[in-house]
A and B are shown apart, each in its own frame.
Chain A
Amino acid sequence: MTGLVFDLLLCALLLAAGLAAVVARGLFAGVVFFIAYGVFVALGWLRLDAIDVALAEAAIGAGLTGVLLLGAIGQLSRAGAEAPAPRPNIPLALACGGLSLLLGAAFLALPDAPGLQAEVAAALPISGAENPVTAVLLNFRAIDTLLESIVLTAVLVGVWALARDDAWGCRPGLPQRVRPDGVLAGFGRLLPPLGLMVGVYLVWAGTKQPGGAFQGGTVLAAVWLLAAMAGAVTAPRVTDLLLRAALVAGPILFLAVGIAGALGGSFLGLAPAVAGPLILAIEVALTLSIASTLALLVLGPPEARA
C-alpha cells in the first residue's frame, strides 16, 4: 500500500517536473526542473529494481547533463545572448502528445514477452562477471559499450573543434578564481577524498553489484571538477600527451582485447578462464577515459588567456 502511494506520488512528481521543465519561464528554471526530473526518473528506476540504470540516470542524466546545460547557460550570458522569450509551440506539443499516446497504447498492447533474463542467467557463469548488467555490457553486447565509449571521444573532439584557432594548445575552460577561505575552497578540500572513494568503489563493485565504468567515471569526473573549481588542480593543455593518452586508453584496451579475440576466432570474445580479470582491466581503463572525457566536456573547448 505504501509502495503504491509512493509510486503514484512519484509519477505525479515526474510528470510535474517534466512539464515544468518544458514550460518554465527562462532557461535557468527549465534546467533546474530538468535536473529534478532526472532525479525522479532515477527514483523510478530504483522502484523498478533497475539499480544500474538508476545510478546511470542520476549520475549522467540528471547530474552531468544538468551541469552541461548550466554551463551552456553561463556561456550564453557571458556572450551577451538574450534568452528567447518562451512561446508555446502548439504543433510540437501536439506531436509529442501524440507520440506519448502512441507509446502508451503500444505498451498496453504488447504481447507478453519474457525478455532475455533466462538467456543471460544461463550464460552468466562463463561471462566473467557476477552482475548480469556488467555481463551484458562488457561481454554479451561488448561492441555497444565499446562504440558508446568511443562516441564520447567523438563528442569531445567535436567540442574541441569549436575552439578558436588561436586558442589551440591552451587549457580548456575559463580560469577559476577562488577565495582561499571561501566555501568553495573548503568543499574543494573536503569532498574530493569522499568522492574518490565512492567513484573507485562503484567501479570495483561493478563486476558483482550495480555500478561500473560509466557511473564511477562520472563520479570521478565530478571529483576532479570540484578540485579544479576550488583551484586545487588546473586543467592540462589540450595538446598534453598524457591527457590524450588518458582519453583513449580505455577504448584502445577494449578494442585491443577485441581484436586479440578476433585473431583467435571470436571478435570481442573473452575466454571464460580470463574473462573476469579482463573485464576488470577494461572497466578500470574505461573509467579513466570516461572520467577525463566527461570532465573535459564540462570544461568546454580550450580558451586563449590574456
Chain B
Amino acid sequence: MTTLLLALPVALPLLAALIAVAAARIAADLAMATGLLVLGLAVWLVAEVAHAGPVSIALGGWEAPLGIVLHADGLGASFLLVTALIMAAVLPAARQGFADRGAETRAGFAFWPLALLLFAGMNTAFLSRDLFNLFVALELLTLSAVALVAIEGKAETITAALRYMIFALLGSVLFLLGAALAYSAYATLDMTRLAGVAAGDWPMAAAVALMTLGLAIKTALFPFHAWLPPAHSGAPAPASAMLSALVPKASFVIMLRLWFEVVPDLASPLLVLVLGSLGAVAVVWGSLLAIGQARLKLIIAYSTVAQLGYLFLVFPLAGGVGAAQPWAAGAWTAVSFHAFSHALAKAAMFLAAGLFLRAVGHDRLEGLRGLARAMPIACFAFGLSAIALMGLPPSGGFTAKYLLLTSAFASGQWIWGVVLVAGGLLAAVYLFRPLNLMFSKEGADPATLRPVPRGEQALPLLLALAAILLGIASSGPFDFLQIGRPGDAAAGLAP
C-alpha cells in the first residue's frame, strides 16, 4: 500500500494530464476528479506517516545510489496535503473560464494539462530524495507555470511569461550545475546518502552554493523577485492561485532540505545572516511596493514577494550553530506553518480576486467599492485571508509569527522580531485599502455587476477557512511536522 500512496500522487496527475491532451472534452471533469482523488490519497498518506513514521519506496526496486527514492516525512506529507487541498479547490474554480463548452478553444485546451502537470511537478518535488530527479520535477513545474502565465495571450502577459522563463531557467541551470558537482564529488544524487558522505570540503560547498542560488531565484527571494509580480498578476486567477500559493514553495522545501538535512554543517553564521537579511528586505520591500499598487491582483502578487521573505528567517533562527538549540524546532516548524497559511490564504485571495474581476470587469481598486453587499461570501473569504496574511489571531499566520517571534527572542536575535512585527503592520496597510473599499457603505449598484454564483464564492471561502483553522487547531500539524525532522528532535517551543 505504501507504494501506491507514494506513487499515485505523482502518477495520477501525470496520467490525467496526458489523457487531457488526447481527450480535451473530458479534461475539466478529469482534472477535478484527479484533484479529489489525490486529496484523498494525501490524507491517507498523512495518516500513514502519523501512525508509522516516515515511509519511502525505491522506484523500480532500485535503491539509491543506483535508483531514486521517494520519501514522505512530516514535512513532505504535509506540503503534499496542502497542495492537494488547494488544487482540489482551484481546479473546480477554473471550470468557469476553461471548461469545454462544445467547441474546443485554445485556452480551454491548454489550461488543464498544464495545471495537472504543475500538480505532478509539485508532488514530485515534495517526495523525491534525488537531486537530478528534483531538477526534472522543477523543470516540469516551471515550464507548466510559464505556459500558464502566457495563457491569456496578451502581449504584456507573454512578456511577463518570457521574463519569468529566463529567470526560472537560470535558476534551473544553477541547480543542475550544483547537482552535477555533488554527483562528481560523491557518486550519489540521493540526499540521504549525500548527508552521510558529504564532507564540508569546498567542491560540496560550491555545489550547495550553486543550488541555493538557483533555488533562491526560483523562490523569488529579493533581489531575484522582479519576475514574480507581473507573472503572477498577469495569469488568469486560478493559475495565479496555483503560481503564487504553491510554485515557490517547491523550491523552498528543496532548499530547506539541503541546508537542514544534507549539509547542516556548512551553514556558517555569515550565510544564515545573508539569507535571513535578504528575506527581511523582501518582507519590507515587497510590502512597500504592494502599498503603491493600484490594481488588486498586483497588490496580491507583491504581497507574495513579502510573504516569501518570512520563510528565509528559518536560516538565522533555526540553522547554523543554533540548529541544536531548543528554539530551533519552533522556528523550523513555524516556517512550514507560514508556508501553509500563506498558500491557503493566497490561493483564496487570488480566487476571490478572479471573481471580483469577473463581476466588475476590471481589477482596479475603485471597482471594489461596496462589493461586499453584492458578493458577501467572496468578500468574507478575502477578509479572512487578509487576517491570515497579516498574522492576526486565530489564523495559521499568527501561529507561525508567534513561533518565529518566540524563537527570535529566545535566541536573542530580536532584530528578526522587529521584521516580523513590521511586516505584519505593512501587510495591514496594503490590505486595508481593498478591504476598506469592499466593505464601504456606498458603491456601485449590484445590478450593474455580472452575477457570480454563490457556489463559486464558496471555494475561496473554504481555503480561507482552512488558513484560519490551521491557527485554531495548530498542535496536531505541529506534532506531525516533527516526524522525521532533521537534527535534534527537542520538544521546542510548542504553542
Contacts and interface: CB of A to CB of B under 8 A. Distances in A.
Contact of A103 (B7, B109, B133, B177): B177
A251 B206 contact: no
Contacts of B6: 267
A110 B181 CA distance: 8
Contacts of B23: 244
Contacts of B137: 147
B3 A106 contact: no
A165 B105 contact: yes
B11 A267 contact: yes
Contacts of B443: none
Interface string A96-140: 000100110111011101111001100100000000000000011
B187 A150 contact: no
Nearest to A261: B60
A248 interface: yes
A259 B15 contact: yes
Interface in A215-266: 239, 241, 244-245, 247-248, 251-252, 255-256, 258-259, 261-263, 265-266
A28 interface: no
A140 B68 CA distance: 8
What are the 8 tightest A-B residue pairs by CB atom distance, in nearest-first order?
A158-B147, A267-B7, A161-B110, A113-B187, A248-B18, A168-B106, A262-B7, A106-B203
Nearest to B165: A158
Name the prevailing secondary structure of the B interface residues: helix
B146 A265 contact: no
B66 interface: yes
A165 B154 CA distance: 11
B114 A154 contact: yes
A268 interface: yes
Contact of B184 (A107, A144, A168): A107
Interface in B1-58: 3-4, 6-8, 10-11, 14-15, 17-19, 21-24, 57
Contacts of A113: 184-187
A165 B106 contact: yes
Contacts of A106: 181, 202-203, 206-207
B61 A169 contact: no
B17 A150 contact: yes
Given A239-B104, A267-B3, A116 B187 contact: yes
Most buried by A among B62, B140, B143: B62
Contact of A154 (B70, B105, B117): B117
Given A144-B132, A267-B3, A267-B11, 20 more contacts: A102-B206, A106-B206, A111-B185, A116-B65, A139-B60, A147-B133, A150-B117, A153-B117, A154-B114, A158-B147, A161-B107, A162-B158, A165-B105, A239-B104, A244-B22, A252-B22, A259-B11, A262-B3, A266-B61, A269-B60
A68 interface: no
A96 to B, nearest CB: 11
B203 A258 contact: no
Interface in A154-186: 154-155, 157-158, 160-165, 167-169
Contacts of B143: 151, 154-155, 158
Nearest to A109: B203
B187 A114 contact: yes
Interface in B96-123: 104-107, 109-110, 113-114, 117, 120
B181 A262 contact: no
Contact of B57 (A119, A155, A248, A267): A267
Nearest to B104: A239
A143 B68 contact: yes
B331 interface: no
Interface string B478-494: 00000000000000000
B181 A168 contact: no
A141 interface: yes
Nearest to A263: B4
Interface in B345-386: none
B57 A154 contact: no
29 contacts: A106-B206, A109-B201, A110-B185, A116-B187, A120-B66, A142-B59, A143-B10, A143-B136, A147-B124, A147-B136, A148-B136, A150-B17, A151-B139, A151-B140, A153-B21, A153-B113, A154-B114, A157-B21, A158-B150, A161-B114, A161-B153, A239-B104, A244-B21, A248-B21, A252-B19, A259-B7, A259-B8, A266-B60, A270-B60
Contact of A110 (B104, B177, B184): B184
A155 B165 CA distance: 12
A143 B4 contact: no
Nearest to A165: B106
Interface string A46-66: 000000000000000000000
Interface in A20-37: none
A2 B3 CA distance: 54
A111 B110 contact: no
Interface string B310-346: 0000000000000000000000000000000000000
B416 to A, nearest CB: 30
A150 B140 contact: yes
Contact of A115 (B60, B104, B187, B201): B187
Contacts of A115: 187
A158 to B, nearest CB: 3
B124 A252 contact: no
Given A154-B143, A161-B107, A141 B133 contact: yes
B45 to A, nearest CB: 14
A151 B136 contact: yes
Nearest to B22: A244
B132 A161 contact: no
Nearest to B121: A147
Contact of B110 (A157, A169, A248, A259): A157
Given A158-B150, A251-B18, A123 B109 contact: no
A152 to B, nearest CB: 10
A123 to B, nearest CB: 6
Contacts of A123: 62, 66
A105 B207 CA distance: 12
Contacts of B61: 266, 269
B21 A247 contact: yes
B114 A262 contact: no
Contacts of A120: 66
A158 B114 contact: yes
A110 to B, nearest CB: 5
